[in-house]
Structure formats: C-alpha cells, structure tokens
Amino acid sequence: MPPLKLLCLHGYTQSGPLFHAKSRAVIKHLTKALLPTHVVTTTYPTGPIHLLPSDIPGYEPTSTSTSDETSTSTSTDSYGWFRRHSTTNPPLYTDLHLGLQTIAETILTEGPFDGVIGFSQGAAMAAIVASLLEPGREEAVTRFLDAGVPGVWWEEVRKVQPQMKFAVCYSGFRAPGPRYRGFYEPGVRTPVLHVLGSLDAVVEEGRSRALIEACEVGGEAKGRVVVHPGGHFVPAQRPYLDAVVGFVRDVLEGEKKGVVVEEDVNDMDLPF
C-alpha cells in the first residue's frame, strides 16, 4: 500500500504536538477511509517563533509583573510561523522567512509529502507552501524568500519535493498587500479544500474569501469550500470529516474538475 504523507501545520499560539491532538479526528477518519489503498502518515513540525506571553491574544499582565518580566519571559508552550506587524498598512509578516525555512527543513528531512493540512496561521502557510512548489513561482522565491536568508534553500526543497497534490486549509487566509502578491498571482493551481467557520471571530470571512479567490485560475476555482456553523477550530463532526475524505479521494483519483462546491452544513442530510 503506498503511503499518503501529510505535512500538518499548526495555528498561531499552538505547537506541533497540540495540533496533532486537535486534528486527531480528521487524520483517524482519513486513515480509516483510505485503507486499503493508502497508508496515511503525518508530520507535525512546530513553528520557529517561541511566543512571549505578551504575544498571545488576550494577554493582560498581572499587577505584580514588571515590564522586563513581560518582555523577556518565554515560559509558554505557544509558537508561531510568523508575527503580524499591525502598525504597517497592509500588515507586515515579520520573520515569515523563518517559518518557511523551518518547513523547508522539515521537507528535506522527512519529505517528500503528498499533501499539506493547516489551521489558521498554519493554513495560510499551507497555501503559501503549496504555491511555492508549483512551477513558475521563481519570482516569488526570489522576491520573498532569499532576502536575509543565506543560500537558496527553497530551491533545494523543490529538487526533492514535487508540487503538492492537495492542501486542506482550516480557517485560512491570504497574506495581505502587494509585497506577498507573488505567492498568489497567477492563481494557486494546487487543489485546496477550504473549511470555514460561520461564527469564526478570529479570522474574518473576508480574509478567508481572499484566499479562496487566490485559488482561482482562469476564472475556475481549484478545490472546494465547506462552511460549518462553528467558530475558530477544526471541526470533528462527521459531515466535515467526510468532506475531507471525499476531497482527498477525488484528488487521488484524478477526478477533480476545478469547480468550487459551496457546502453549507444546514443543507446536508448527515447529522452532526
């Protein structure tokens, strides 16, 4: 049985082990559904940016904390792939090259992979990685990845890692502004399943829709859109697990025709 190797990228303030736990239902369902044709294996790297307590949304220093303690403490188990610098307009993703370099090193040591799955910030990274592995992205590599990074490490990745067969983006979003245009223009050709929460208060729907539009090539979308009636999390109810299985099966069987299918859970017959 051929392996189906998945690269799994966690969200902001998470880690590889934590995302492993939160995505367990998806991977278990996919593993069971694809037997006996494929054996699913997963890799969960952790982002390179160890977040400070002050980096975590909602953080409030205690009255006994000093400013030095707030700025230098690293006693969290929270990590990210980049930081969002909101004082610029559009926002700048600082240290984005570090996140991409960590993913590149993971691919070189544990790849190649068949697909990439990401949540939130990890979903944004999943779309970028899928894009960069497509033919014709050399300009994006030159403009965004080599700056400040010694060598041509992403070119080394492309020698061993072919284009991803698919990507699954939970609560994903597009990197904003013209500086990141090379990641999305021309459109991302890798088939992508976008899973959105209708009550997501962390990633606004417009940001996710911008990523969906970036996955349209020549007016035709590459993948599907599934909407669940929840917030900012990886849904574990049966309809959404089946949606991932159906999408991956279609990709593997070569039956995808590049049509976005808007699936609202309220219109589904399956219970949840």
Residues spanned by the domain of 213? 3-54+70-267
Is 65 part of a structural domain of the chain? no
Helix axes 238-252 and 24-34, enclosed angle (nearest 10): 50
Q: For residue 63, is it within any domain?
A: no
- Percent of the chain surpassing pLDDT 70: 81
Question: Residue 254 above 50 pLDDT?
Answer: yes
pLDDT at 256: 37
Mean pLDDT of 92-110: 92
- Note whether 7 and 106 are within 8 A (CB): yes
130-158 pLDDT, tens digit per residue, is: 999 998 887 776 766 555 444 457 778 98
The answer to whether residue 43 sits within a structural domain is: yes
Q: Is residue 165 part of a domain?
A: yes
Dig out the tokens for 11 from the structure: 């969200």
Q: Is 78's pLDDT higher than 90? A: yes
Q: Mean pLDDT, to the nearest integer, of 11-26? A: 97
pLDDT tens digits along 187-223: 999 999 999 999 999 999 999 999 999 998 766 777 8
Q: How many domains does the chain have?
A: 1
Residue 257 clears pLDDT 70, i.e. is over it: no
Nearest to 170 by CA among 4, 14, 3: 14
**Dihedral angle at the C-alpha atoms of 138, 144, 150, 155, nearest 10 degrees?**
-20
110 domain-assigned: yes
pLDDT of residue 264: 43
Residue with the bigger pLDDT between 188 and 268: it is 188
The Cα–Cα gap between 58 and 161 comes to 38
pLDDT for 231: 97
pLDDT at 125: 97
pLDDT at 110 over 90: yes
Helix (H, G, I), strand (E, B) or coil at 220: strand
Q: Is residue 234 part of a domain?
A: yes
For tokens 């917030």, name the residue: 231
The pLDDT of residue 66 is 52
| Mean pLDDT, range 115-141, rounded to an integer | 91
| Tokens 């969200």 -> residue | 11
Assess if residue 59 is contained within a domain: no
pLDDT at 54: 83
For position 35, which CATH number holds?
Answer: 3.40.50.1820
pLDDT in tens, 48-66: 999 999 888 776 666 555 5
Phi/psi at 226 (5° precision): -125, 130
Q: What DSSP element (H or E) covers 263?
A: strand 262-264
